[in-house]
Amino acid sequence: MQKIYLDNAATTQVREEVIAKMQQALGEFYGNPSSTHSFGRSAKTAVEKARKTIAKTLNAQPSEIIFTSGGTEADNMILRCAVRDSGVETIITSKVEHHAVLHTAEELQKEYGISLEFVDLDEHGNPKLDHLESLLKANDTKKLVSLMHVNNEIGNILDIEAIGDLCKEYGALFHSDTVQSIGHYALDVQSIHIDFLTAAAHKFHGPKGIGFAFIRKNSGLKPFIFGGSQERGFRAGTEPFHNIVGLEEAFVQAYENLEEEIQYVKGLKRHFIESVKKEIPEVMFNGLSGDLEHSTYTLTNVRLPFDKQKGLMLLFHLDLKGIACSKGSACQSGSNLGSHVLTEILSPEELEKPSLRFSFSKYNTKEELDYTVKVLKEFAES
């Protein structure tokens, strides 16, 4: 049986170069980066080198890069500290954000009594800029806007520059969860009016358990985890040196090969869309995920013309055939409530049809996609 992995939005295969770097770090450079002897200094040098590498690519300062355990911690850190330390009284977000943002904002509303506002969405799931502007100018409270760059379920791409300009105009802080775009798109934090962004290495062929936050200098945020002086005193705890080295290598490989891999993976997505349309003409694409220009090249979210009862067996059937994909975010796979993203943009009738997210990487092939479409067609005709 073939084994085909089409769930790259959940996590990605680790590059061989990354594994080699991490093995070297685990075997040779095992000193504590905070120790002053040669073993510690070697580890510390590598940590700071990784920080500088990331900062240079994003056009940030090294001191603005804080290593975290991943995107969820980074989102929590930024939202919580913005309310606690920067006087934020209103968080403006959308109902199609990752739960790392939504649940954190809801908890902050309970704990601090902040206002939580949701920007209206168009029929495709994009935030309406005119409504965002009205929320920004509604009152004089200190505001933070949190909107993700690339939606992890439907692939819509936010006009991050326009959002940044609006936030600057009205004096609001701007945070973007860029977990699905870092490593896949070039970002320049000097050309975008953005205060905070977050990333996770395992979304671009790096290890799990490591990510980073960009926190613009003089943001006013104070330590999130207390203890030692690691991460400029902002996040205490011994640095996971092997993971940081792996993150750096994955980051370097992603941006050195960016254009080549964009074209290859975009070709896979185009091929999949054309093939599934041909074989299952009634198929629909959720959000803008069927639009190659207005959604990320890394994923598509299809709505299939099956009834609810048949749809219940679809994911199980694909798994039996060796195909890995998902209904939506892996972070809510244990929930029986369905996708909160699709709930916001689809009608009750459309929600009755099964929807699946297929996400692609450099390790996939057109032959794998042909097999997947063949299995889908056979299921449709069964």
Q: For the residues of 207-223, what is the DSSP string, one character each?
A: -TT-EEEEE-TT-----
Cβ atoms of residues 323 and 263 within 8 Å: no
CA atoms within 13 A of residue 81's CA, in its CB half-sphere: 22
Which distant-in-sequence residues (6+ apart) come within 8 Å of 256 by Cβ? none
Name the nearest CA neighbour of 9 among 376, 357, 375, 374. 357
Catalytic site residue from 81, 167, 325, 331 = 331
Cβ atoms of residues 375 and 323 within 8 Å: yes
Distances (CA, A) of 213 to 71, 113, 334: 8, 25, 27
What would the two tokens of residue 62 be? 């090294």
Q: Report the C-alpha gap between 112 and 357 in whole angstroms.
A: 36
325 is catalytic: no
Cβ atoms of residues 108 and 80 within 8 Å: yes
Name the nearest CA neighbour of 211 among 250, 163, 257, 176. 250
Rg of the chain (C-alpha set)? 21
Q: Report the C-alpha gap between 300 and 145 in whole angstroms.
A: 26
Cβ atoms of residues 303 and 276 within 8 Å: no
Distances (CA, A) of 365 to 54, 272, 357, 362, 369: 30, 10, 17, 8, 7
Catalytic residue IDs: 331
